[in-house]
Structure 1
């Protein structure tokens, strides 16, 4: 039923599944939406939990500029993004 409604409304699949949305601007700005919590936070590793897995941000000088219940902005030099189940 949920798939039929989302298909008919043409909603993005990440929105209906509750997946994290990661937007990267260059190597220095990362926006993460729809995350559940922060698992690990250092200046070179930030791991976030989501409904269907985790995201690991690797880099140098990483810092969380702001976060709300479902959105976060990270700045620093991004080297790698890993999606983990």
Structure 2
């Protein structure tokens, strides 16, 4: 982990990119992209729970839908009200 942190600092990259930790990118209140996820745990039109390293990332809102999903990245669209990590 320390090695990844030092590399991220030298390359001026976010530590999450190097360490494989979750990285959430919010685009207004209409979409969120989560990188380095571990899969979908719960999926409804008001709540999406995603496994991430050391916990769960929960997106709450209305009209939620999975726009794109790969092994590394998931993009959720809809009206986003809350993004929470626990």
SS state of the match for residue 6, structure 2? helix
Q: Hey, which bits of structure 1, 4+ residues long, moved more than 4 A?
A: none
| Offset, 1:14 | 1.4
Root mean square deviation of aligned Cα: 1.7
| Offset, 1:51 | 1.5
Residue 7 (structure 1) aligns with: 6
Q: What is the number of residues matched between the two proteins?
A: 83
Residue 22 (structure 1) aligns with: 24
Separation (CA, whole Å) in 1 of partners of 2:68 and 2:4: 33
TM-score norm. by structure 1 comes to 0.85
Q: Structure 1 4/37 Cα, relative in aligned 2: closer, same or farther at 3 Å?
A: closer
Separation (CA, whole Å) in 1 of partners of 2:72 and 2:7: 26
Separation (CA, whole Å) in 1 of partners of 2:4 and 2:74: 29
Q: Structure 1 5/51 Cα, relative in aligned 2: closer, same or farther at 3 Å?
A: closer
Residue 77 (structure 1) aligns with: 79
| Offset, 1:4 | 3.8
Q: Structure 1 5/57 Cα, relative in aligned 2: closer, same or farther at 3 Å?
A: closer
